[in-house]
A and B are shown apart, each in its own frame.
Chain A
Amino acid sequence: MTRGADAGRLPSAFLAPGSSSFSDFLGAHAPDLLPGRRPVPSGPVTEAPHGTTIVTVTFDGGVVMAGDRRATMGNVIANRDMEKVFATDEFSLVGIAGTAGLAIELVRLFQVELEHYEKIEGTLMSLEGKANRLATMIRGNLGMAMQGLAVVPMFAGYDLGGATGRIFSYDVTGGCYEEHDHHSVGSGSLFARGALKKLFRRGMTADEAVRVAVEALYDAADDDSATGGPDVGRRIWPTVGVVDAEGTRFVPSDDVAPVVDAIIGDRAAAEGGAR
């Protein structure tokens, strides 16, 4: 049939029975909208803003994810109040490190993917299912990653079956690994992981886990120039998301501020700022 004959009609791809995956539908109907389907630029790597450190900490019955607010481009701070932790659905969060533009596009697609599945199937996707869908999307970005534009997210969610918080990390090739207790990704992650090892213990409450996550970010910012510390002057605090049986929520800035103040107070009181 010619296009003129049924202009305005829903294209046949919309009416075709089959996949409940939004990215599969895009791949068949509008492949140019898929991040992984675009031609990979050749030649020298372009400079683009990079997101930095994400920290995830489990607690009794859930998981906390926190991210600093800085994006850097070489030695320049590209953005000082960027959000890098996103709610992907009712029971999951994703935090992004790596090339910010590509990562945000990936998160947007992932969010639609989960909601699309939920609407078409009438049920939530399993936590492993979500983690695997994200792995597939990262794999689609491999070409870009080889050009230096890598996206390395971390995924955390509440497992409705096991009633626990779980963490999944990724590599640029789409490898998906379950992490236990805590994890961190991004340029400041080495320092954050060191802090997490000393601060983490099992069976914490959500509030204690928030404190541990924010303190680990503080340590990351202390030693990594690309990670933003708490900006006391502008009152810019880390983004902190929590997932538990109640669902996904963000800790309001007014509640993050006292946590940051307490950490700074403790550091100032200690000899040489260490703890």
Chain B
Amino acid sequence: MSAGMPFYVSPEQLMKDRADFARKGIARGRAVLVVQYDAGIAFVAENPSRALHKVSEIYDRIAFAAVGKYPEFENLRVAGVRYADLRGYSYDRSDVTARGLANAYAQTLGTVFTQESKPYEVEIVVAEVGDTADGDQVYRLTYDGSVADEHGFVAMGGGAEQIEAGLREGWRPGMHLAAVLGLAVPLLGADPAGGEARTLSPDQLEVAVLDRHRPRRRFRRVQGELLERLLSSDDPTEDAPAGDDDSARSESTNPQTQRDEDGRPG
């Protein structure tokens, strides 16, 4: 065999090596949980950074959560926002769906996995909140572009298996937000290796919701005092209020659909 001639590697071995590589990268990061609750879908992550988000808004009803290499999933997030805004602009806001976006991500991740020099070390969730819990859609996408349609809850990243086992035990349909956080946060703090569990404070957490009762843009970050109240066991707060907010995003901003049901503007 002359120098420079590559060794033969079977396709099976090549794919397995790539998958192992991606899986290792993903398992190193802290976990993100996506959990359905009575008023929508909650996203809970351990993330001390206020600037680098693991959970973000994509469109009116759609959010994005990811674990793995930040530059890679940030790239996918931006692509998702562009995809959604372009689609909503050229068709209508109601034509932007999580299913369409999940498909585009799946094709992208699949192509990168087989054709690029290294696969993306990411795992992502694309979630869309419906008018009822039955209408909620949660898609989990892995590094090779596989898509799974999930119901109830998803955990991704380091210790995901133990966290999912904990969720399987404790999660029930129709839980309110405070109960879901009460279940999710201790699971995030548990040590997968069996060591001592950590207690995560609100400023170590990134929490967001897709709240089906909010008008138009359903995505909302839950932070500061509200998050403290939701996490505190002796505070009666059970849910993020739908109305009062730091922001007044109540109006539709599409000129064609700016009126409410009574035909009045706004």
Contacts and interface: CB of A to CB of B under 8 A. Distances in A.
A119 interface: yes
B251 A9 contact: no
A119 B56 contact: yes
A252 B266 contact: yes
Contacts of A14: 78-79, 82-83
A111 to B, nearest CB: 4
A120 B89 contact: no
B78 to A, nearest CB: 6
Interface stretch (B29-37, B103-111, B136-144, B225-233): B103-111
A22 B111 CA distance: 26
A91 to B, nearest CB: 8
Contact of B264 (A8, A22, A248, A252): A252
Contacts of A7: 107
Nearest to A17: B75
A138 B89 CA distance: 18
Contact of A115 (B56, B85, B258): B85
Interface in A166-207: none
A14 B79 CA distance: 5
Interface in B223-266: 247-255, 258-259, 264-266
Contact of A247 (B57, B248, B252): B248
A249 B243 CA distance: 14
A108 B255 contact: yes
Interface residues of B, number: 38
A15 B252 CA distance: 28
B45 interface: no
A15 B75 contact: yes
Nearest to B221: A122
B94 interface: no
A87 B266 contact: yes
Contacts of B111: 5-6, 9
Indicate the member of B108, B248, B255 with the most A CB atoms within 10 Å.
Answer: B255
A171 B248 CA distance: 30
B189 interface: no
Interface string A136-156: 000000000000000000000
Interface string B64-99: 000000000001101101110110111000000000
B266 A10 contact: no
A99 interface: no
Contacts of A22: 82, 85, 89
Given A108-B254, A119-B58, A253 B248 contact: no
B108 A83 contact: no
Interface stretch (A25-33, A70-78, A125-133, A215-223): A25-33
Contacts of B198: none
A253 B265 CA distance: 8
Given A86-B253, A90-B247, A33 B107 contact: no
A107 interface: yes
A115 B96 CA distance: 15
Contact of A250 (B86, B110, B266): B266
Nearest to B56: A119
B253 A115 contact: yes
A263 interface: no
A112 interface: yes
B86 A30 contact: yes
A271 interface: no
B151 interface: no
B53 interface: yes
A111 B75 CA distance: 23
A112 B58 CA distance: 12
29 contacts: A6-B107, A7-B107, A8-B104, A9-B107, A14-B79, A14-B82, A15-B75, A25-B86, A30-B86, A83-B255, A83-B258, A89-B253, A104-B255, A109-B89, A111-B253, A112-B88, A116-B82, A116-B85, A119-B56, A119-B85, A122-B51, A122-B53, A241-B266, A247-B250, A249-B250, A250-B264, A252-B264, A253-B264, A253-B265
Q: Which 10 A-B pairs have the closest CB atoms?
A: A247-B248, A250-B266, A8-B107, A14-B79, A250-B265, A9-B107, A87-B251, A111-B253, A10-B108, A9-B108
Interface of A: 5-10, 13-15, 17, 22, 25-26, 29-30, 33, 83, 86-90, 104, 107-109, 111-112, 115-116, 119-120, 122, 239, 241, 246-250, 252-254
